[in-house]
A and B are shown apart, each in its own frame.
Chain A
Amino acid sequence: KAGVTQTPRYLIKTRGQQVTLSCSPISGHRSVSWYQQTPGQGLQFLFEYFSETQRNKGNFPGRFSGRQFSNSRSEMNVSTLELGDSALYLCASTGEGYSYNEQFFGPGTRLTVL
């Protein structure tokens, strides 16, 4: 099976702009989670979508939003970008029947805000 894919891999934006990141989970996986990774804060959970519904949410401002489509692909959007949003954004998918909660990660999107 193909792994989790994320596009684009690298992105440069300026403050105030908005950005949309995309994630395609492993075929058959219906849960997609998003994380922000920074040197200062480590890995922080943003949100999780399951069957097109947000099932869990981390502690991030409303500028961070996401959605999931019927084919399980997910997008996350960040509006009004701030310098502090520069980070590696990781997407992870989990399959049904995975009672051990294993997540499979994509390579990430490196966002730089200037």
Chain B
Amino acid sequence: AQSVTQLGSHVSVSEGALVLLRCNYSSSVPPYLFWYVQYPNQGLQLLLKYTTGATLVKGINGFEAEFKKSETSFHLTKPSAHMSDAAEYFCAVSETGGSYIPTFGRGTSLIVHP
């Protein structure tokens, strides 16, 4: 079984500050990990994904995430927040070799203050 925990339903940062959105997962097999972003009244858009290989993954819009197996974490970061980053962010996990249907976290709403 797989599960995802996103710490903090809301994260507030100032424009230009570091963005850190936390995600911890549990999976009985090596996971695939994803971060999606959802803007108001829109569907989810893939930001980045970890499959195999390099544990530091770079995505779109300046975001990156690091897979840490020992900590079962996949935190999302961005060095400098922009107003346009304000959105809902979802971490998801799917299991290799099994049903590929991903399990999503509850989401974290990123608020960016000017």
Contacts from A to B (Cβ < 8 Å): 4, 6, 33, 42-43, 45, 48, 56, 90, 92, 94, 99-108, 110
Contact = CB atoms under 8 A, between A and B. Distances in A.
A107 B104 contact: no
B53 to A, nearest CB: 11
Contacts of A94: 100
Interface residues on B, range: 20 to 34
Given A4-B43, A42-B107, A56-B101, A100 B49 contact: yes
Given A43-B104, A56-B99, A107-B41, 16 more contacts: A33-B101, A42-B105, A42-B106, A42-B107, A43-B90, A43-B107, A48-B101, A56-B101, A90-B43, A90-B44, A99-B51, A100-B32, A103-B102, A105-B43, A105-B44, A108-B43
Contacts of B100: 94, 101
A107 B34 CA distance: 19
B29 interface: no
23 contacts: A4-B43, A43-B107, A45-B101, A48-B101, A56-B99, A56-B101, A90-B44, A92-B44, A99-B51, A100-B49, A100-B51, A101-B32, A101-B94, A102-B46, A103-B44, A104-B46, A105-B43, A105-B44, A105-B45, A106-B43, A108-B42, A108-B43, A110-B41
A27 B100 CA distance: 20
Contacts of B41: 107-108, 110
Contacts of B32: 100-101
B42 A102 contact: no
Nearest to A104: B46
Nearest to B101: A56
Contacts of A100: 32, 49, 51
